[in-house]
């Protein structure tokens, strides 16, 4: 039995196999995986795809592009160089790799550790060329393919677009030149942003990439939580039908479902509606929603309310409702409404790639709807 709800993980070996087969089936064509926030993309890359690829002799490099968005190539190169060092530095009798001197560089408050790699002197300094050399070297010396897992890839489009373009071009060149040596998976939460970047780069990689589905976890997740609940509470449990409904109500975000079930377990609740209500009223939840809401501009807050009420943003009804919410000196127009929707997508309040203005977080929508509209603005 798992120790706690937090130890339960649903493995997705079939999906990982499918991804690996897609990569191998079309060398040179990266996979692109776009799915809403918090549905488990990173967990899948790290806990399912990466181990399977390693079993298949891939050398796997994971990079959270958002974290290193100012120097993405340096971070990828560094990870590759570390792998070279790990594979070539002789192991001591204790089985530990020899310690390398490490220097720390702070990037946007996050310190990235850059080791002095044994191969440094022979490699070009230009990050794009260096990347290319590293791939050649690893392939020549190890005879193993490299799998790059580039998480939050759209961060490149969001930050410095010139840098983004140069990275995309170099990646594309590398993927095409070394088809058998390097494979890549991009993940992110906006297909639209990435498409725009690739179009600008005139890099056909976007069309060239294989778009992969990332299905949300199914009933096995609520069922696993239910089983643990039952084990703790001597047979009392929320029903599976209700838990499935709850999973859908929280947009299939496994972490949120788990947090609600943890709360229900702590309070001995088996009614999921009561559980959801308690979760939504929790101080942390409310504070988080208030903070998200408060960080929006006045017009966008009004727009969020209007959308939560189910109106179409560009409709006449929405314009009338916006006018009733906003002060006289901030009257709406359709142009302003369009811009507000764009901003709300950029801020992940609305799903970016959905044509029907869906909220990324249904609980946030419900929160906004429950407030008195007079208190909102
Ligand atoms: N297969 C799984 N089994 C159990 N819990 C999971 C699973 N996948 C994800 N989770 C949980 O869901 C939460 C979100 O997962 P993760 O960070 O992987 O999502 P994400 O899609 O990468 O999110 P983001 O869009 O914020 O990057 C985490 O708390 C994680 O523990
Ligand atoms: Mg993630």
In this structure, what token pair is assigned to residue 84?
């070279």
**358 neighbors 350 (Cβ within 8 angstroms):** yes
Which pLDDT value is given to residue 106? 40
Do residues 355 and 345 lie in contact, with contact meaning Cβ atoms separated by under 8 Å? no
Please spell the DSSP secondary structure of 169-213, one letter per residue: HHHHHHHHHTTTTEEEEEEES-HHHHHHHHHHTT-THHHHSEEE-
From ligand 1's centre to the CA of 9, what distance in Å? Answer: 10
| 321 and 331 Cβ atoms separated by less than 8 Å | no
Ligand nearest to the CA of 38: 1
43 CB less than 6 Å from ligand 1?
Answer: yes
> Candidates 2, 5, 38, 252: which one to mutate for ligand 1, based on the most atoms within 8 Å of Cβ?
38
Residue with tokens 């408060």: 294
Tokens linked to 134:
């590293």
* Pairing between β-strand 146-151 and β-strand 59-64 as defined by DSSP bridges: parallel
In DSSP terms, which residues pair with 62 in a beta bridge? 149
Q: Decide: helix, strand or coil at residue 9.
A: coil
- Report which protein residue has its CA nearest ligand 1's atom 4: 9
Probe target for ligand 1 pocket from 14, 43, 228, with the most ligand atoms within 8 Å of CB? 43
Alpha helices in the chain (DSSP H): 13-25, 41-44, 50-55, 72-88, 127-142, 155-158, 161-177, 191-200, 205-208, 220-232, 240-249, 254-267, 272-281, 283-294, 298-308, 316-325, 334-346, 362-370, 373-376
Residue 352, phi-psi category: left (phi > 0), alpha (psi -120 to 50), beta (remainder): alpha
pTM confidence score: 0.86
Q: For the chain, which residues make up each domain, given as ranges?
A: 5-212, 220-281, 287-376
Q: Identify the residue whose C-alpha is closest to ligand 1 atom 6.
A: 254
Q: Whose CA is nearest to atom 5 of ligand 1?
A: 9
Task: Name the closest ligand to CA 15.
Answer: 1
Instruction: Name the DSSP letter for residue 60.
Output: E
CA-closest residue to ligand 1 atom 29: 255
pLDDT string in tens for the chain (377-residue length)? 778 999 999 999 999 999 999 999 999 889 999 888 899 999 999 999 999 999 999 999 999 988 888 888 888 888 888 888 887 765 554 444 444 433 344 444 444 444 444 455 578 888 888 888 999 888 888 889 999 999 988 887 776 667 777 787 788 888 889 998 999 999 987 777 767 766 666 655 556 788 898 999 999 999 999 999 999 999 899 999 999 999 999 999 999 999 999 999 999 999 999 999 999 999 999 999 999 999 999 999 999 999 999 999 999 999 999 999 999 888 899 999 999 999 999 888 998 777 789 999 999 999 999 988 777 77
CA 40 / ligand 1 centre spacing (Å):
3
User: What does the alpha-carbon distance between residue 313 and residue 311 come to, in Å, rounded to a whole number?
Assistant: 6
> pLDDT value at position 200?
66
Query: Is the Cβ atom of 38 under 6 angstroms away from ligand 1?
Result: yes
- Ligand 1 probe mutation, 2, 12, 14, 40, most atoms within 8 A of CB: 40
State the pLDDT at residue 203.
55
What is the per-residue burial (b if ≥16 Cβ within 10 Å, else e) of 7-40? Answer: ebebebeebbeebbebbeeeebbbbbbbbbebbb
Could you tell me the two tokens for 256?
């949120």
Of residues 230, 55, 76, 95, the one with CA closest to residue 148 = 76
Q: What is the CA radius of gyration of the chain?
A: 24
With a 6 Å cutoff on the Cβ, whether 255 touches ligand 1 is: yes
- The CATH T-level fold of domain 5-212 is Rossmann fold (3.40.50)
Beta bridge partners of 102: 115
Cβ atoms 59, 85 nearer than 8 A: no
């Amino acid at each position: 039995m798992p120790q706690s709800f937090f130890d339960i993980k649903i493995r997705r070996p079939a999906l990982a196999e499918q991804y690996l087969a897609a990569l191998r089936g079309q060398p040179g064509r990266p996979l692109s995986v776009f799915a809403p926030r918090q549905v488990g993309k990173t967990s899948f890359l790290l806990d399912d795809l990466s181990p399977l690829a390693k079993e298949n002799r891939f050398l796997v490099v994971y990079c959270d592009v958002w974290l290193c968005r100012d120097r993405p190539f340096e971070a990828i190169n560094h990870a590759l160089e570390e792998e070279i060092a790990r594979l070539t530095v002789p192991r001591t009798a204790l089985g530990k790799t020899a310690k390398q001197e490490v220097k720390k560089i702070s990037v946007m408050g996050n310190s990235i550790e850059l080791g002095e790699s044994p191969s440094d002197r022979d490699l070009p300094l230009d990050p794009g060329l260096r990347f290319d050399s590293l791939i050649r070297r690893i392939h020549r010396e190890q005879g193993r393919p490299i799998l790059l897992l580039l998480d939050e890839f759209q961060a490149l489009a969001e930050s410095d677009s010139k840098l983004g373009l140069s990275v995309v071009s170099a990646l594309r060149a590398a993927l095409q030149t070394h088809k058998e040596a390097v494979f890549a998976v991009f993940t992110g939460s906006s297909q639209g942003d990435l498409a725009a970047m690739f179009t600008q780069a005139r890099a056909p990689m976007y069309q060239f990439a294989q778009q992969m589905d990332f299905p949300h976890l199914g009933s096995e997740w609520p069922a696993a939580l239910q089983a643990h609940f039952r084990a703790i509470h001597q047979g009392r449990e929320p029903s599976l039908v209700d838990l499935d409904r709850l999973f859908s109500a929280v947009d299939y975000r496994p972490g949120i479902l788990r947090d609600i079930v943890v709360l229900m377990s702590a309070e001995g609740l088996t009614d999921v509606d009561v559980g959801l209500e308690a979760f939504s009223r929790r101080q942390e939840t409310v504070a988080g929603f208030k903070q998200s809401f408060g960080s929006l501009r006045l017009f966008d807050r009004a727009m969020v309310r209007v959308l939560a009420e189910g109106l179409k943003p560009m409709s006449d009804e929405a314009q009338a409702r916006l006018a009733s919410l906003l002060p006289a000196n901030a009257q709406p127009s359709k142009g302003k409404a369009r811009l507000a929707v764009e901003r709300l997508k950029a801020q992940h309040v609305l799903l970016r790639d959905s044509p029907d203005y869906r909220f990324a977080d249904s609980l946030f929508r419900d929160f906004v709807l429950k407030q008195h509209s007079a208190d909102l603005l």
